[in-house]
Structure 1
Amino acid sequence: MSGTEDPLLSDLCSICHINAPRYRCPRCSTRTCSLPCSRRHKLWSQCSGVRDPAAYLRRNELATEAAFDRDFNFITGIERQIERAERDADNRGVQVDPQRHSYTDVAAVGLEHEVESEGDGARKRKRPNNDGGMVRGEAGFMRAAENAGVKVIRAPKGMTRSKQNGSRWHPKAKNLNWMVEWIMPDGQKRSRHCLESSTVAEAFDRVYPLPKQEKEQKKTEEQQKQSLEEDKGKDSEAVVEPLEGTGPSEETQTPHDATTPPVENESQSADAPNQQSSTNPADITSHRNSFFYLHRPRTATKQIVLIPLSPKTDLTSALRGRTVLEFPTIYVLHESPETLNADSTESRFLLEEEYTRTHPDPEPEIGEVTAEGDTQPLPGSKDLTNIDEKKVLEVLKQDLFEPVPAGETE
């Protein structure tokens, strides 16, 4: 029989029953000797290991430093959770009413020293308007977009489209800095900022830059084209010079009536909308074996309605008279407009020209004034401008003063 007595099981670790306990679980006060035993305890007992702040304590246990520390940690933990929730709502664009969801008495949570130390810095912090209005810089952007002839449809606050919209007015360049969404043929999306003064091809090259070899090849091709154009210009000048002496005689022989058709064409082109330049079929060419199309939102068809764009067109001309949902979306496709128009029934894309033909605009209401200032007649109505008023009066007099038969008076 050994001189030392064996320790009791209650004095050993409740998990391994070998070593003396060194740790106590904050949740259930189970005593363990090591971290592996503590993990086994949580697994076997399904214990979280987190202290229950609502657990009952005696009065003599409350008047201790440990109880004071537990209560203080509990209150500061709630404060951190509220700050984390406000930060998350700020990042997601969700507006929170500060009158309902903020502390009015900071001394109650012991933060009066932090408010005093912040000073004027807290006043300069940008906060959303309580009435759900526009944030700083948004009003200037909407005003500039309206002046540029672009109708911007706003998405509800907090939606993905609204949070992705980074379009703003660029004060240094004095241009609209659009957030443009590019959708590739494989469905890949990429959003980047682009000034309205840059062309569609330039904006696309910034988003999807060319490799170095292709860039060098493109530069050489452009230099060759410029040299060919200069050679052609020199040849044309050499041909025109000997014909300059015959110019005045030809001008005197041309009749005055021959100059009238160009004047009419100029007046007709002036009345045409400005966006015709961006959708002119002659200007629609490919850039890097791709064609660009502007998405038209909110249409009455399941197909995606596209507007062909020329690579040389700047965003100002491309968006003038158009409607965008928060910011423009440009599709980059390998198919030309002729191919899309031929496969319009089976393709998921539809050109705007075909859409306007199959889905005409609703008829105007009664008395709606057109751009010329005249009222637009309803369908099926007759033109009454050339009717003689005297004849109408004679017919009305005959109807009013015609004698009534005796049998119809009863």
Structure 2
Amino acid sequence: MQDTQQICQICFTEPSKYKCPACTTQTCSLPCIKLHKAQSQCSGIQDTTKYIPRTDFEKDGEGERMLQRDYNFLSGLGRELQVRKDDVKSKNKRILQSGSNSYGNKRQNRNAPPANYNSEDGTFKQTTLIKRGVNVKILPKGMSRAFQNKSYFDKRSSEFMWTLEMIMVDAENGEVLNSGINWKCSECTKVRDTINDKLRVTFGLPERQKKEATEADTQTQTQTQTQISQPNCQPSEELHYFLKMIDTPQNKPVLKYLDPTKPLGEVLKGESVIEFPTLIVSTQREIKGAWSELVEPVEEESSSDSGDDSSGSSEES
């Protein structure tokens, strides 16, 4: 009769071939393994934290097996820690790379330094790109404004979609009332339509327009919708738009008035922005306080007049 230690402890007929890592039960085949797990409620996974008496460790063949078990446990723990470290590093790299707009979505080498990095003195060179006639100054990767920039070129419509920072200010004292970002604004959009529905809610415009629209009983539903979508349809609610000029003192910003009836791409042509334009919105043409420095746009009719050009350039400087 065969030794009971070498016979399958489930069917008791065939010689054992396998040993359960969890409870060392000897089995002969896959059906016996499954039956053993079902009967004994055994997981089949070795508990690496289970206490082992010294007497069991000193048994013949058990000491080497226990030592191999501990070695495998420590090796697996080290591998798991290394994998988690690598995952954190790669995730941080993806966050930084997604935050900076590459204007073309070209694949870049992750280990290579940024193109605007000066290795000699450890500073960043300011890169300027010309997009649709606008001088766009690119910030280093990881900066908040670079992360917010989602501007892109829409191939389907052949239009450049700008990210716009909109700031509503009080014309009486120049205090910032509210601000928001229009993440997707076509270059063909008129300046007066750059405030989308979400920003109208932020600036408190929809409620005021809807209230006056309901009081006009003689208007049709179409006219009501037009009044709601255009905040400057009433003279008392006319909004004025300005472009915040760059390379000016922080405590004395300079604004340029924008024609609300012209497309966004037309009024931005030839201007300079940092990552994306910043538009100042006010209920009056003249703003007091810190925003009082104003540059008037040069009209096309006066472009031939050298005197007007010289005066315009002196104001801009």
TM-score, structure 2 normalization: 0.52
After TM superposition, give the deviation of residue 70 of structure 1 in Å.
2.9
Q: Deviations over 1:305-356 (max 9, x none)?
A: 111223222101220121111101112223x223x2xx4xxx1113333897
2:285 corresponds to: 337
**In 2: Cα distance, 1:132 partner to 1:173 partner:** 31
**In 2: Cα distance, 1:82 partner to 1:330 partner:** 42
**In 2: Cα distance, 1:192 partner to 1:306 partner:** 22
Q: Is 1:328 the counterpart of 2:277 in the alignment?
A: yes
* 3-state SS of 1:204 partner: coil
Q: As a proportion of its length, which structure holds more helix?
A: 1
Specify which of 160, 166, 179 is matched with residue 188 of structure 1: 179
Give aligned-pair identity as a percent.
Answer: 19
Query: Counterparts of 1:263-278 in structure 2 under 5 Å?
Result: none
Check whether the contact 2:188–2:264 (CA below 8 A) recurs between aligned residues: yes
2:268 corresponds to: 319
**In 2: Cα distance, 1:328 partner to 1:358 partner:** 23
The 3 A distance-change label for structure 1 pair 71 and 328 is same
After TM superposition, give the deviation of residue 288 of structure 1 in Å.
4.1
The 3 A distance-change label for structure 1 pair 360 and 151 is closer
1:349 corresponds to: 291
**In 2: Cα distance, 1:76 partner to 1:198 partner:** 52
**In 2: Cα distance, 1:200 partner to 1:207 partner:** 16
Q: Over aligned residues, Cα RMSD in angstroms?
A: 4.1
**Aligned letter for 2:243?**
L
**Aligned letter for 1:64?**
Q
Check whether the contact 2:182–2:195 (CA below 8 A) recurs between aligned residues: no
Q: Is 1:292 the counterpart of 2:241 in the alignment?
A: yes
Q: Please, which runs of 5 or more residues in structure 1 have no aligned partner? A: 1-25, 30-58, 96-124, 135-141, 227-282, 362-410
1:164 corresponds to: 148
1:132 corresponds to: 114
After TM superposition, give the deviation of residue 66 of structure 1 in Å.
3.7
Query: Counterparts of 1:338-377 in structure 2 under 5 Å?
Result: 338=286, 340=287, 343=288, 347-353=289-295, 361=317
1:91 corresponds to: 95
Check whether the contact 2:180–2:199 (CA below 8 A) recurs between aligned residues: no
After TM superposition, give the deviation of residue 286 of structure 1 in Å.
6.6
Query: Counterparts of 1:4-403 in structure 2 under 5 Å?
Result: 63-93=67-97, 126-128=107-109, 130=112, 132-133=114-115, 142=129, 145=131, 148-185=132-169, 186-209=177-200, 210=206, 213=210, 220=220, 223=223, 288-300=237-249, 302-334=251-283, 336-338=284-286, 340=287, 343=288, 347-353=289-295, 361=317
The 3 A distance-change label for structure 1 pair 223 and 191 is closer
Check whether the contact 2:295–2:315 (CA below 8 A) recurs between aligned residues: no
The 3 A distance-change label for structure 1 pair 293 and 163 is same
Q: As a proportion of its length, which structure holds more strand?
A: 2
**In 2: Cα distance, 1:68 partner to 1:126 partner:** 40
Q: Please, which runs of 5 or more residues in structure 2 have no aligned partner? A: 1-48, 52-62, 100-105, 117-128, 170-176, 201-205, 227-231, 297-310
**In 2: Cα distance, 1:215 partner to 1:196 partner:** 30
* 3-state SS of 2:157 partner: coil
**Aligned letter for 2:149?**
N
Check whether the contact 1:192–1:207 (CA below 8 A) recurs between aligned residues: no
